[in-house]
Amino acid sequence: MSRLIYLMGASGVGKDSLLRELARRRPDALVAHRYITRASGGAENCVELSREAFHWRRERGLFCLSWRAHELDYGVGAEIEAWLAAGHTVVLNGSRRALERARERFGAALVPLLVVADAEVLRRRLIARGRETLAEVEARLARSCEEHALSGVARIDNGGALAEGVKTLEAWLDAAPVADDPA
């Protein structure tokens, strides 16, 4: 039995912090990295690729899932399919833009979770991160309202202490597997 716990949420909601802390606390947590066509600044579990390198890898089937958001390319390596086939639970920082493709690719193994936080918390985090102008921060906050409209997707509130959000994520990790091996 395998599962892909697929985290989604607005920028600044703390997905990377949750995953970093989960990996620190739980060596059994297989937290997948992503490939991104921008520098991470060390804050997220990703491999930076040039656009050319990203497209080369995608054309050769080295990603099991890829998407484009905010003028950047994101990909997930095909190795997570091997981890799932071996019966493991994998945790991934996904995207609502790629949710339907992920559902098609991973079927019943996919467990989508939406990470949420209050708009003021998001605003403070985005400003502190320093990657966007104030206008860009406000645009991100406006888009985050769209994510709250996802129906039928469980939510993790990460607006308070990180330990509480991680505790909720760990409960999902420890839950009984819900899907048979898709292979």
Asked, for residue 118, whether it belongs to a domain, the answer is yes
Give the predicted TM-score (pTM) of the model: 0.85
**53-63 residue pLDDT tens:** 999 999 999 99
**35-51 residue pLDDT tens:** 999 876 666 677 889 99
- Rounded (5°) CA angle 73-162-112: 50
Structure tokens at 180: 């048979």
Write out the residue range of the structural domain in which residue 100 sits: 3-172
Asked, for residue 114, whether it belongs to a domain, the answer is yes
Asked, for residue 101, whether it belongs to a domain, the answer is yes
**CATH assignment at residue 134:** 3.40.50.300
Asked, for residue 131, whether it belongs to a domain, the answer is yes
Asked, for residue 179, whether it belongs to a domain, the answer is no
How many structural domains compose the chain?
1
| Max CA pair span of the chain | 47
Asked, for residue 97, whether it belongs to a domain, the answer is yes
